[in-house]
Amino acid sequence: MHISAIPKMIRRGDLGKRSRRPVLNRDEVLALRSAREASAAAAQAAARRDRPPKAPSPPDDRHEWLLADEHSTAIDIADASPNVQRDSIASSIDADEAVAKAQSVHPLLGSHQELVIRALAVSHPAGLSAPQINPNASTQPNTYITCDKLEALGLIRCDTNTHPKRYYLGPRMLR
């Protein structure tokens, strides 16, 4: 309705004064809001509980992706580091548990970040370089960027004394 139509509507009797103002009780409004917030929180919690764990899958179909478990057998990293001291560090970490722990730290974990965490969990404690994490040469810069972001979150750590850089699960993942 345009403002210029108001005088015409008053003349025709379409608009008139209200006999009394509509009144809303503030306590009722606040109670309704808190009830809606509580039901929304309960629905979100139920959705999180009922959601099955996310299975590893490639992020797209345009490229040929190698999942972490397949990758570890392809490069045979089970025997990758016989000289690493294994007395203070657990020698195997379940990839699904590692991803779940990473998602608890950073809930919006991307699929590429998830693949990096899975690869490092499978190779733990040996660690991997970016070409070993993702052997697809066209996405190597993305792997380095992903590893830098995960390192900033404390989920992985980088050994810059090696060439190429070698990545390991970070302190937040080993607690």
User: pLDDT value at position 162?
Assistant: 82
Residue 169 lies in a domain: yes
User: pLDDT value at position 138?
Assistant: 66
Over range 2-25, report the average pLDDT: 84
Q: Are residues 115 and 160 in the same domain?
A: yes
Over range 47-72, report the average pLDDT: 72
Residue 130 lies in a domain: yes
Over range 100-123, report the average pLDDT: 83
CA pair distance 118, 73, nearest whole angstrom: 13
Residue 78 lies in a domain: yes
Q: Are residues 135 and 81 in the same domain?
A: yes
Residue 141 lies in a domain: yes
Q: Are residues 74 and 48 in the same domain?
A: no
Q: Are residues 109 and 164 in the same domain?
A: yes
pLDDT at 31 over 80: yes
pLDDT at 82 over 70: no
Q: Are residues 79 and 133 in the same domain?
A: yes
User: pLDDT value at position 86?
Assistant: 41
Q: Are residues 87 and 47 in the same domain?
A: no
What are the tens digits of pLDDT across the range 145-157? Answer: 888 888 888 888 8
Q: Are residues 48 and 102 in the same domain?
A: no
Residue 35 lies in a domain: yes
Q: Which domain holds residue 29?
A: 23-52
Residue 38 lies in a domain: yes
